[in-house]
Structure 1
Amino acid sequence: MTKKDSFSVFENNFVKLWIEDEILWGEYKEVVIGLEEAKKIVRDRIIFQQGKLYPAIADIRKIKYVHSDANKYLSKEGNALLLCGAIIVGSHVSEILGNVYLSINKPLLPTKLFRSAEKAKEWVKFFI
């Protein structure tokens, strides 16, 4: 990914966030995410966005595990202030499993999985 402006970067124990080209980027760390962690991630992101809507790209390749209650929270309440969500996964198997998950949980906004940041960025540009 590209260089991050130090004035527009936020980082906590779970994710690094930045805004670049009117897109909110999130790069998740090697973590396990439970419901309380998911709520903190969303709360911090909303504060970071300062009330502005953005299309989002989340790189989840380093995440170790997400508990089902956290997944449900992120797929619904976790969409606050987002126009769409592109999710970067690390393998074809992750992409297949993720698509099954999305078809069952049906996020409230357009959401799509990608294996490259470039393709994710191309897709979210339609929502700017």
Structure 2
Amino acid sequence: MRTVENDFVKFWIEDGIMYSQFKKLTEGDKQKLKDLIDLRHEISAGEKQYWCYDFNGLKSYDKDARDYADAHGQDYLFACAVVLNSHITKFILNTFMVLKNPLVPLKGFTRKSEAVKWLKELKEKEQFNNK
């Protein structure tokens, strides 16, 4: 299993799914988000990934960070499943994504197992469609 990490986040790829986890409570400013995206690009090695993005450990994203993510955060991704610790936050995220219609499918979950299941279903569907 290949891993890359910095002082606040760790990435790894396991069974065709890319995972990330914050190593400590982190404020999401533009520089931290840039560092996170750069690290994600490093582990992706120029190939698109299915990403299980665990938000637990992230206090918040400021507006500059969100704007940076909108502009640069979708490279090398097939889909992103976001693991959240709140059903309300999950509802808000999923509602926002329906309204926004992002280039990369993104969906919130409160259980990691459900997030991974969704990513694997998308991956299988993509592989089937490419045959």
Q: Is the shorter-chain TM-score for this pair beyond 0.5, marking a shared fold?
A: yes
**Which residue does the alignment assign to 1:9?**
3
Aligned-partner residue type, residue 93 of structure 1: I
Q: Is the aligned partner of 1:85 residue 2:76?
A: no
Question: Percent of pairs identical after alignment?
Answer: 27
**Which residue does the alignment assign to 2:55?**
60
**Which residue does the alignment assign to 1:50?**
45
Secondary structure of 1:70's aligned partner: helix
Distance change >3 Å, CA 61–CA 111, structure 1 → 2: same
Post-superposition shift, 1:34?
0.9
**Rounded Cα–Cα distance in structure 2 between residues aligned with 1:53 and 1:38:** 19
**Which residue does the alignment assign to 1:39?**
34
TM-score, with normalisation over the residues of structure 2? 0.83
**Rounded Cα–Cα distance in structure 1 between residues aligned with 2:70 and 2:93:** 12
Say if 1:75 and 1:108, in contact at 8 Å, map to a contact too.
Answer: no
TM-score, with normalisation over the residues of structure 1? 0.85
Structure 2, unaligned runs of 5 or more: 124-131
- Match of residue 103, structure 2, among 97, 108, 111: 108
Q: Radius of gyration: which is bigger?
A: 2
Moved more, 82-91 or 72-81: 72-81
Q: Give RMSD over aligned pairs.
A: 1.7
**Rounded Cα–Cα distance in structure 2 between residues aligned with 1:22 and 1:50:** 13
**Which residue does the alignment assign to 1:26?**
20
Runs (4+) of structure 1 exceeding 3 A deviation are 103-106
Say if 2:93 and 2:107, in contact at 8 Å, map to a contact too.
Answer: no
Aligned length: 122
